[in-house]
Amino acid sequence: MIIGIDLGTTNSLAAYYTEDGPKIIPNRLGKNLTPSVVSVDENGQVFIGETAKERMLLYPDTAASVFKRSMGSEKIYELSGKKFLPEELSALVLKALKEDAEGFLGEEVTEAVISVPAYFNDERRRATKRAGELAGLKVERIISEPTAAAIAYGLYQNRENGKFLVFDLGGGTFDVSILELFDSIIEVRAVAGDNFLGGEDFTKVIEQIFFDKNPELDRDSLNEKELRHITKQAENLKLGFTDKRVSDMTCRIGDKTYEMSLSIEEYEAKCDELLDRIRQPIKRSLSDANIRLKDIDRVVMVGGATKLSFIRKFVGKLFHNLPDTSINPDEAVALGAAVQGAMKERKDSIKEVILTDVCPFTLGTEVVLEKENGRFEDGHFCPIIERNTTIPASRTERLYTVHDNQTQIRCKVLQGESRFASNNVQLGEINIRVPKAEAGKEAVDVTYTYDVNSILEVEIKVISTGEVTKQIIKTNATDMTEEEIKERMEALSYLKIHPKDKEENKLLLLRGERLYEESIGQERMQIEYALRNFEKALDTREDSVIEGARREFKEFLEEFTE
């Protein structure tokens, strides 16, 4: 059986698929949520979940939380003398979920679909996959949290096609994804987010208000245990806003008691900066998807932090659309991951759905730019596959030599959004030999082909000699063998054919060229304009853009020849 796992910043949980649909798997304490907290005592015993969370309040130096924010990094957590990487702590949480699932289901669990924020880069996704493997799980798929949520809400079962926005505000990360549904296909149009924004940050606002209202308390003079106590009470105050407009907290520090009452209006005003941070990814995703706010048909709320009433009100005002909260926001992602697992198992009772995904980050290379004074400056980033390009995808960029008698071109494979190469993540490097010639006379075509399995093929062709060099970069630590990767890339070879060279497009271009030659004056100008628009659409290599443009150009030619 394949289970679905939502490995969260604050809480984690697992689900499985039944004939009646996906169900949450309760942990050994009978609860659906397992706090993503790990604690180690002086004897080396490891505690996970609620027990670890309680120990964190008593012995803060022995526990760790919110380590998901550091996934993929080399950050070290030291607990009772033992050192852990974020992925190792995550593996302990996943192992606990695995054992709880086995106890509940009465069978061994060896496979899982694990969710990650849509905006996780490949290093973070790779670390998540390693965490699953360390926990004894074969990770069948890493699925983006908003996509899992869309599946849980059954968007693919709706008869009406439309555009949906998944608003996912969890304990430590924020994601927004725009998805388009047509027939049985869920196409991810754009993703954006903030890996350092979540419910924990809204709790910190309450902590700051508490210190502001109690100026005699010096935060720097408090020990870790006292600070944890304040955080716990601030969290309780925040939860109080679920059904009250005024919530209270009481903290016992030393021999003195401190109290605070807070209204939802005052709290909301203090969260303005966080709400502004939420707006930015929403704007970016709409821009990348080329969709207007009013075009969104449905907004789905996911993540525990969306339980805050003013967050829901904020989203409702922003979209002029009442958000959908019909599924427990804490559970939607795990339920969707379980459905994805059932799809992998080809369960008869589930409707098959095709999921298309996008590159969350731009893939490109380092280039040299010529400045106004004629001098060259290296270290610039040249995008090849832009972020939010639907995958699988293949794109080509031609690069030229910049020095006389240059014998080598170095291609750094980079991932990121900065215009400076050094600010982006390097995935690999390929050095290509070229014949000696004057600067700018030798060139190479650099082709990136990116697959849904997170496999990147880099192909570099020297134009003058025809020599081709290829390198496969397994950007997500895939389990596929070299032979399977080779077969997959051969299957994707059609992507490397420029749309201009595909027969149905070439036929229309030739017809347009013929009509241009046969016409004069205003008619010739109209044909040239239509040809340029169609060629511009072909250069995007986006199927949805090309399909519409081809239909328009074909209709134009038919009307022109009537």
pLDDT tens string 382-398: 999 998 888 888 899 99
Give residues with Cβ within 8 angstroms of 304, minimum separation 6.
8, 10, 11, 170, 171, 199, 329, 330
Q: Residue 484: pLDDT above 70?
A: no
Q: What pLDDT is recorded for position 84?
A: 95
Q: What pLDDT is recorded for position 477?
A: 44
Q: What pLDDT is recorded for position 476?
A: 45
- Cα separation, 201 vs 196, whole angstroms: 8
- Cα separation, 96 vs 8, whole angstroms: 14
User: What pLDDT digit, counting tens, does each position of 312-336 carry?
Assistant: 999 999 998 889 888 999 999 999 9
Q: Which residues pair with 40 in a beta bridge?
A: 46
| Least confident residue range of 79-83, 103-107, 284-288, 487-491 | 487-491
154 Rama class: left (phi>0) / alpha (psi -120 to 50) / beta: left
User: What pLDDT digit, counting tens, does each position of 401-413 carry?
Assistant: 998 999 999 999 9
Q: What pLDDT is recorded for position 512?
A: 86
86, 290, 463 from 393: Cα distances, Å: 32, 19, 22
- Cα separation, 271 vs 238, whole angstroms: 12
Q: Residue 429: pLDDT above 50?
A: yes
Q: What pLDDT is recorded for position 389?
A: 86
| Least confident residue range of 153-157, 185-189, 431-435 | 153-157
Q: Name the more confident of 408 and 480.
A: 408
User: What pLDDT digit, counting tens, does each position of 138-148 carry?
Assistant: 998 888 888 89
Q: Which residues pair with 247 in a beta bridge?
A: 262
Taking the whole predicted model, whether its pTM rises above 0.85 is answered as no
369 Rama class: left (phi>0) / alpha (psi -120 to 50) / beta: beta
Answer whether 331's CB lies under 8 Å from 148's CB: no
Q: Which burial class, exposed, middle or buried, applies to 346 when counting CB atoms under 10 A from its CB (0-12, 13-18, 19+)?
A: exposed
- Cα separation, 515 vs 280, whole angstroms: 47
Q: What pLDDT is recorded for position 521?
A: 80
Q: Residue 182: pLDDT above 80?
A: no
Share of the chain above pLDDT 90, in %: 52
User: What pLDDT digit, counting tens, does each position of 322-381 carry?
Assistant: 898 889 999 999 999 999 898 887 766 566 666 777 888 899 999 998 876 678 888 999
- Cα separation, 510 vs 540, whole angstroms: 20
For 303-354, give the secondary structure using H, E and C. Answer: CHHHHCHHHHHHHHHHHCCCCECCCCCCCHHHHHHHHHHHHHCCCCCCCCCE
Give residues with Cβ within 8 angstroms of 216, minimum separation 6.
none
User: What pLDDT digit, counting tens, does each position of 513-558 carry?
Assistant: 888 877 878 888 888 888 988 888 888 777 778 888 888 898 888 8
Give residues with Cβ within 8 angstroms of 127, minimum separation 6.
71, 72, 86, 87, 90
- Cα separation, 38 vs 47, whole angstroms: 6
Pairing of strands 77-79, 82-84: antiparallel
| Least confident residue range of 103-117, 288-302, 497-511 | 497-511
Q: Which burial class, exposed, middle or buried, applies to 19 when counting CB atoms under 10 A from its CB (0-12, 13-18, 19+)?
A: exposed
The arithmetic mean of pLDDT across residues 6-20, rounded, is 94
- At residue 478 the predicted structure's pLDDT band, cuts being 50, 70 and 90, is very low
Q: Name the more confident of 424 and 183.
A: 424
As a dihedral over the C-alpha atoms of residue 155, residue 158, residue 163, residue 167, rounded to 10 degrees, the angle is -30
Cis peptide before 392 (omega within 30 of 0): yes
Answer whether 90's CB lies under 8 Å from 82's CB: no
For CA atoms 107, 113, 116, 121, the dihedral sign is: positive
Q: Which helix (H) or strand (E) holds 12?
A: strand 11-18
Q: What pLDDT is recorded for position 348?
A: 61
